[in-house]
Amino acid sequence: MGMDRQIKKKKWPPKKIALVASSVIFVAAVVYLFLFEFSEAALNVETDRITVSTVEKGPFQEYISVMGNCLPIYTYELNASEGGRVEVKYVEAGAIVRLGDPILKLANTNLLTTVMWREADFYQQSNNLRATRLSMEQYRLTLSKEMADIDSQFLIQERLYNQQKELIKDKLISENEFIQTKNQYEYLVKRKELAMESQKNELTFRQAQLDSLESAVNQMQTNLRVVREQLDNLTIKAPVAGLLSALNAEIGQFKGPSDRLGQIDVLEGFKVRAGIDEHYITRVEVGKPGEFDLASASYDLTVKKIYPEVVEGKFNVDLEFSDKVPPDLRRGQTLHIKLYLSDTSEAILLAKGGFYETTGGNWVYILDTSGKFAVKRSIRIGRQNIDRFEVLEGLQPGEKVVTSSYESYNNIDKLILK
């Protein structure tokens, strides 16, 4: 009887091998996904809900967008140099006025009384001056007459004295007669000298009084002219021709000295006044260019004046038209202006977007070349305008960046694009 041969079973049948192999592959896949796919925080994002921008290299010019208002190049304020109540309004706001046209008249009783008193004093002193001048002339005539009489007596006595000096030599007259003639002559010489000295002193004194009175009258006349001018200034007149764009006065209203009554716009051209964020106060300079579009045309502006005072976070600048001015421009019209802060230069550029609010421009999501996911990358931006950022580090032309808002991404490391 033959013996049966024992057949050994195979340790690894094909089915078992296949089962083990598939298990190994599954575990490897799980490990791979865990190590490489889920090692970073990731978020699924729908592509139709994001904005992707391509990094470019091209010309860049830094500018800001500001709002400007049209104003006349020259505006003159109307002020009250003297206080008073509004008595008459000759025109209303919006009227065209010519140089010297009356606009308002103020009444000031105290000033009017002052003028009347000073006029009375002036006329009184003027009359005193005329009376003094007349008295001076009469005195001169009296002195002239006195001197004429003295001169006449002196000449007669001098001639007699000279004659008797010759006669006494020949003893044709008595010694006593000659002595009397000589004494009379010497008396008239002294009398003439004293009269001349007295008249000179009296004339000097009276002339000084007259000069003093004339000086006082002249001063009073000057003062009277000043108060009359103050009285005339109660009538407010147009200092220039133009548009009376504002008038702040009503009948019976009191206006104090230096109060603003209104303004006149000179209709010879316009300037633009713009308020700019104080962040740019060191960047804006006189001569910086700007431009705006209006009615399908572009117009150039230039910064002409900077007001350094900052109010509510803004400072003002005045811009003037560089060349042509828009037709039918109106006072107060609002213009949207591009104000350039730098010259044009080549730069790497990234479009502006909502991402900046979250990252502050310190990082962005960069798309992989496959376009299936985007990862974080640190960058550094420099200047900017209303459309683009200047990229200083971290990006190269041709790369694609998610520029829409990152607000819902919670600072995730990776975006999976679906």
Provide the pLDDT for residue 24.
59
Order the strands of the 254-255 sheet from edge to edge: 235-237, 102-107, 84-89, 254-255
Domain range annotation of the chain: 39-61+345-417, 64-73+269-340, 75-108+234-263, 110-232
Residue 147: C-alpha distances to residues 28, 137, 182, 303 (Å): 149, 15, 21, 83
CATH node for 39-61+345-417? 2.40.420.20
CATH 2.40.30.170 fits 64-73+269-340, yes or no: yes
In the predicted model, is pLDDT for residue 32 greater than 50? Answer: no
* E-state strands within 90-129: 96-97, 102-107
Residues whose CB falls within 8 Å of the CB of residue 403, separated by 6 or more in sequence, listed in order: 51, 52, 53, 350, 351, 352, 353, 354, 355, 364
Tokens 């910064």, located at residue: 303
In the predicted model, is pLDDT for residue 31 greater than 60? Answer: no
CA 288 to chain centre: 18
Helix or strand run (H / E) with residue 124: helix 109-169
The CATH architecture annotation of domain 110-232 reads: Orthogonal Bundle (1.10)
- pLDDT range class, residue 404, cuts 50, 70, 90: very high
In the predicted model, is pLDDT for residue 38 greater than 50? Answer: no
Provide the pLDDT for residue 343.
87
Question: Span 259-269, mean pLDDT?
Answer: 88
- Dihedral, CA atoms, 158, 163, 168, 169, nearest 10 degrees? 120
CATH node for 75-108+234-263? 2.40.50.100
pLDDT in tens, 291-313: 999 988 999 999 999 999 999 99
Q: Which percentage of the chain shows pLDDT scores above 70?
A: 90
Question: Span 81-101, mean pLDDT?
Answer: 91
Sign of the CA dihedral 151, 157, 158, 160? positive
Calculate ∠ Cα 128-131-137, nearest 5°: 140
In the predicted model, is pLDDT for residue 44 greater than 80? Answer: yes
pLDDT in tens, 357-392: 999 999 999 999 998 999 999 999 998 888 899 999
pLDDT in tens, 161-179: 888 888 888 788 888 988 9
According to DSSP, the β-strands at 42-45 and 414-417 are: parallel
Beta bridge partners of 373: 416
Helix or strand run (H / E) with residue 163: helix 109-169
Order the strands of the 242-247 sheet from edge to edge: 75-79, 260-265, 242-247, 96-97
In the predicted model, is pLDDT for residue 12 greater than 90? Answer: no
In the predicted model, is pLDDT for residue 408 greater than 70? Answer: yes
